[in-house]
Chains A and B, each alone.
Chain A
């Protein structure tokens, strides 16, 4: 595939993530922190997000599977996930965490279980999309091209 085509594909793909609400403008803010002195910044941060999130989701599963759920343990995890997902612009994950927290507040175990499923769903979605995004970028760079700067009309 030609370089120009690859770059266009990347732009279209990125745009679709915004249009679908998978990413929000915070992701653009993150991209602005990337430059020649920190060329892999976005992927580094996103990788950290994946590592943190995997751990948190695991802890949440364990906590919610207890006979007696300790919401004092559950809520901080959700809070942290909300924070980190918000920081990288993973909008749907963040929104799912907001709902999750309200069920924690109500100490609603069943609601929390549902929320965990929803958070996991959104998380795996954004993880998948971002991994694809980075692959597209790598292909471009491997072909000697530059990653086009994101310009969104909206």
Chain B
């Protein structure tokens, strides 16, 4: 399986997109965004990974001031029939964030600071639900 980790900054523009293998990306302590903007997409084949990456580049260029929720919505909208799993990574401890994620069609949520076993179980849970 392949892992694609994308780091979005809501401030400044999303243009500075970093693609890392399995690294969680840099921390930006001054971000105000509820969703720190890091979205992990688990793409298990070349086609979906390439398409999703391009989609995120394109919507990032067109809408530089987007937050993670908007990105999730755009991804949903693009893939009409069969969308990739979206796991949100957030620094927020507010309750409503998980609800909002679910509303947006985000499949899972991991709270920072990241604990490996938590990430593991949340990813498994999301994959399990998605295959049902």
Q: Tell me the A residues contacting B by CB distance below 8 Å.
A: 25-26, 29-30, 33, 35, 38, 41, 44-45, 48-49, 51-52, 79-80, 82-84, 86-88, 94
A87: contacting residue among B58, B82, B131, CB under 8 A: B82
- Complex interface: chain B residues within 8 A of A45 (CB): 47, 50-51
Residue pair A87, B44 in contact (C-beta under 8 Å): no
Residue pair A33, B81 in contact (C-beta under 8 Å): no
Q: How many B residues touch A, CB cutoff 8 Å?
A: 16
Q: How many A-B residue pairs have CB under 8 A?
A: 51
Interface status of B112 (Cβ within 8 A of chain A): no
Q: What would be 12 A-B contacts, judged by CB atoms less than 8 Å apart?
A: A25-B80, A29-B80, A30-B51, A33-B54, A35-B58, A48-B47, A52-B46, A52-B47, A86-B79, A87-B79, A94-B81, A94-B82
Interface status of B48 (Cβ within 8 A of chain A): yes
* Apart from A48-B47, A83-B44, A83-B48, 19 more pairs, CB < 8 Å: A29-B78, A29-B79, A33-B51, A33-B54, A33-B55, A35-B58, A38-B54, A44-B50, A48-B46, A48-B50, A51-B46, A79-B131, A80-B44, A80-B45, A83-B82, A86-B79, A86-B82, A87-B82, A88-B47
As a 0/1 sequence over residues 51 to 82 of chain B, the CB contacts with chain A under 8 angstroms (1 = contact) are 10011001000000000000000000011111
Task: Decide if the interface of chain B is mainly helix, strand, loop or mixed.
Answer: helix
- Complex interface: chain A residues within 8 A of B131 (CB): 79
- Complex interface: chain B residues within 8 A of A29 (CB): 78-80
- How many angstroms between the C-alpha atoms of A49 and B48 in the bound complex? 9
Residue pair B46, A87 in contact (C-beta under 8 Å): no
Residue pair A41, B54 in contact (C-beta under 8 Å): yes
B71 to chain A, nearest CB (A): 15
- Complex interface: chain A residues within 8 A of B58 (CB): 33, 35
- How many angstroms between the C-alpha atoms of A105 and B27 in the bound complex? 44
- How many angstroms between the C-alpha atoms of A86 and B45 in the bound complex? 13
- Complex interface: chain B residues within 8 A of A80 (CB): 44-45
Residue pair A84, B78 in contact (C-beta under 8 Å): no
A84: contacting residue among B48, B54, B55, CB under 8 A: B48
